[in-house]
Chain A
Amino acid sequence: MEGSYRRVVRAVLTRRDGAFAALLLAFIIVACLCAPLYATLNGLDPFSSDIAGTTVRNGQRVDLMQPNDNPLHLGLSPIGPDWRPGPYVLGADSQGRDVAARVLYGGRNSLLIASSSALFCLCLAACLGICAGYFGGWIDLILSRILDMLWAIPVYLFAISLSVVTVGHGIRLGFITIGADNLLIPIGIIALVYVPYAARPFRARALSLSQAGFVMAARGMGASDFRILWREILPGLMPTMAVLAPLVMALCMLAESALSFLSLGVQAPAASWGTIIQDGEGLLYTRPAVAIAPGVAIVLTVLALNVLGNALRDQIDPKGAAR
C-alpha cells in the first residue's frame, strides 16, 4: 500500500483525460490567483464603479460608456471586448468595471466557496456516514432516514430557502455573529445541502469495513470503538474521499453560481462567477461577453473537476468503472 497514492496520481496524470483535466484546473486556479497581477498591471479597480472613466483603444482615448449603436436600446452601453492583451480585454460591465478582472477575482470566490464547502460537506458526510455504517442499528436507522428526508428536498430549493432565511440578516448564535455578507454563509449552506449525497458512499464503505476481519481482530484486542474508527476504518475511507472530492466540488461550484446569480450567495461588492452572470443578464443583447465569460469559466471548471473525478475513480476503484 505504500506509495499507493503516488501511484494513483501518476496513473491519473498519464491518462489523456486526467492530464487534460488537471492541466485545465491548474490553469484556472493559477489564473484566478494571479487576478491582482492583471488588475495592477493595467491599473484597474474591479470593485468600484467607473462610469465616467476612459481607456485607450487603437492608440485613441475612448469613453468606457459609449452611445448605444443598437436602436432598440436607449442611453449608453459599456465598451465591448477587443481581444488584445491589455485593460478591458473582455470589455466593461454596466458599471464600467473591467469584466476580465472581475471574472478573475470572482473566480477566487467561486473556487474558494466551492472547495471549502466541498471540504465541509465531505467531513460532515464522512462523520455521519461512518457513524451510520459502523454502529448500525438504530443509529443507522435514524441517520439514514434523516439524510433521506433531506435528500428528498430538491437541492436548489433547499439551498435557496436556507439562503433566503440567512442572507438578509446573518446568523446569530449566542455570542457568535456571522454577518450577512460573510462567505461562511454560502459555504455552510452549500456544504449542508450536499451532505446526504456524499454521506451515502461513506456509509456503505464504513459498513463493509466494519465487517472486515481486522476490525474484529482489533475489537478482540480490546480496542475502543473510537480507536477502531480512527485507526482502522478512517484510513480505509480515504479512497472514497479522494474520488468524491472533485465531484462534490463541481456540484458545489454549480450551486454557488446559482445562489450568487439569485443574489443569495456572494454579496456585492464582492464578485463570483454567479454574480457576474447576473450583472451580464441585462447586457445579454448588447454585450454578451459579460455573461458568457464567467459562464465559460464555470463550464470549464466543472468539466475539469468531473473528468478528474472520473479518472480518479477509474484508478482507485476499477470495479466501479463499469457502473
Chain B
Amino acid sequence: MTVLLEAKNLSKHYRLSHGETLRAVSDVSLVVHCGEALALVGESGCGKSTLGRTLIGLGAPSSGEVFFEGERISSLSDRALRRWRPRMQMVFQDSSSTFNPRRTIGDTLAEPMRIHGRTGIADRIAMLLEQVGLSSSVLSRYPHEFSGGQRQRLNIARALMLGPDLLVADEPTSALDVSVQAQIVNLLRDLRNSLGVACVFISHDLAVVRQMADRIAVMYLGRIVEEGDVLAVLEAPAHPYTRALLNAVPRPDRPLPPSLKGDVPSPIHPPQGCAFHTRCPLAQPRCSQERPELHRIAEGRTVACHYPLL
C-alpha cells in the first residue's frame, strides 16, 4: 500500500495568555495509506481533533512535518497550500455551525467547486446528493431547516464535492441521535467502499470505530499510546489505557470492571515520565521517571508502555 499522508514528530502547542503552554499534540508520528481508514480515539481533550486539523493544514504545527504524497505540506504558505486543499477535506463535528446560516445549501455546496474554478457544478451536486441520500429539493433551503442527520449528510456531500483522496471526519456522529448515528456510519462506510477515499476517523466511540476503521491509533494527553490493526487492538489491547477504554464500554456478558481513578491531567502541566502513570493501575516507579517511546511489539503494532500487556 502506498503512503498517502505521513506525519513526523508532529506537535501543536498553544501559548496561553499567562505565559504557559498547552501541549495539545506532542510528538505524534503516523501514516495513512491510500484508501485506508485510520481511527483516532481517546477521551475528550486528548488532542485528537487538533491532530486531525493539523494533519490537513488547518493551523500550522508548532514542530514536526506533514507529508502528503511525499510533498511536505506543513511548511507551505497558505496560498501554496490552497492547491492541495481539494485532495484532503474535513467533515466537522458540529454540523449546525459549519454551514453559513445566510447561504442556501445549493450555494454552500457549490462553493468548493467555485473556489477551485471547476465546471459541471450542478451535475456534481446532483450526483453527491443522490449518494448521500437527499433529494435535489434541498438546494434552495437554508441550513436551519434541516435535522442534524440531514445536515451531517450535507456536510459529507460538501466534503466530497472536490473528490478528495483523504477525508478527516471529526466525530461526525457524536452530535447525533443513536439511530441517526448508525445511518451516518453506514453512509460513510458505503462511500468509502465505493469511492476508495482514505479516511481519518476521529471518535471516542469504540463500537463505531470497530465498524469503520482498518487501523486504530489510541491517544492520551496529546500522544499516541498504541497503534495497530483495529480488530487486533480491540481484541487484545497492549496498553493499559486502551484496556481501560475497552473496559468502560458496558457489555451484557460481564459486570462493568472498575473504571480509571482520577481525571485526565492538564495538558498544560503533563506528568513526568509516562503521561498515563498517574492513573495507571499497573504503574511502576520507572513509569513516573522515564517516558516510554512507541515501539513495535508485533507486525504493524506499536505501543508506548514499559510494561505492555502483550
Contacts and interface: CB of A to CB of B under 8 A. Distances in A.
Contacts of B102: 1, 235-236
Interface string A72-90: 0000000000000000000
Where chain B touches its partner, the secondary structure class is loop
A125 B111 CA distance: 28
Interface in A204-259: 212-214, 216-225, 227, 231-232, 235-236
B97 interface: yes
A233 B78 CA distance: 19
Interface string A1-35: 11000000000000000000000000000000000
Nearest to A2: B142
A217 B90 contact: yes
A222 B116 contact: yes
A110 to B, nearest CB: 35
Where chain A touches its partner, the secondary structure class is helix
A235 B142 CA distance: 14
Contacts of B86: 221-222
Contacts of B162: 221
Given A222-B112, A227-B115, A216 B89 contact: no
Contacts of A225: 78
Contact of A222 (B82, B98, B100, B144): B82
A262 B78 CA distance: 53
Nearest to B87: A222
B90 A212 contact: no
A232 B106 CA distance: 15
Nearest to B144: A1
Interface in B57-111: 58, 78-79, 81-83, 85-86, 89-90, 92, 94, 97-103, 111
Contacts of A227: 115
B105 to A, nearest CB: 12
A219 B99 CA distance: 13
Contacts of A213: 92, 94, 97-98
B128 interface: no
A228 B83 CA distance: 16
B174 to A, nearest CB: 14
B147 to A, nearest CB: 17
Nearest to A211: B97
A80 B181 CA distance: 81
Nearest to A232: B100
Contacts of A2: 142
A214 to B, nearest CB: 4
Contacts of A223: 111, 115
16 contacts: A212-B100, A213-B97, A214-B99, A216-B92, A216-B98, A217-B158, A218-B111, A221-B86, A221-B111, A222-B81, A222-B86, A222-B115, A222-B116, A223-B111, A224-B79, A235-B102
